[in-house]
Amino acid sequence: MAIINCPSCNEQTSDKAKECPKCQSSTDSTLATSTQSSLKVQRIKSIQSIQAQTMLALLLSIAGFVFYYWDGIEDQYMQQWVGMGTIIAGLVWYLINRIRISYLHRKFKR
């Protein structure tokens, strides 16, 4: 007899029990497997979404860099502020997304 986690409420219960004593959901191994695979799919979708945002953040930084050094704009002072602001915003967004990805990796390793 082993102690397992309930697929629904994550409470510990016996592997011989037909249903969880707390939430009364089935502890069938096929249900647990399907629940785990759906959680894995959800994790992958979350990480892919954050990776797409990370790419947008990098593109924003590159666009700010190009704008900062672009010639032909009459108001150089405003161009520098907008360019530098865009670079900083993109890099901060990138760092936040990297932290979110590492948090999700650690969260789902447990």
Quote helix, strand, coil % in the chain, to nearest 5: 65, 5, 25
Pairing relation of β-strands 3-5 and 12-14?
Answer: antiparallel
Residue-wise pLDDT for 64-105, tens only, equals 999 998 887 788 889 999 999 999 999 999 999 999 999 988
pLDDT exceeds cutoff 70 at 28: no
Sequential DSSP letters for 60-80:
HHHHHHHHHT-S--S-HHHHH
Q: How many domains does the chain have?
A: 1
Domain that holds residue 8: 3-109
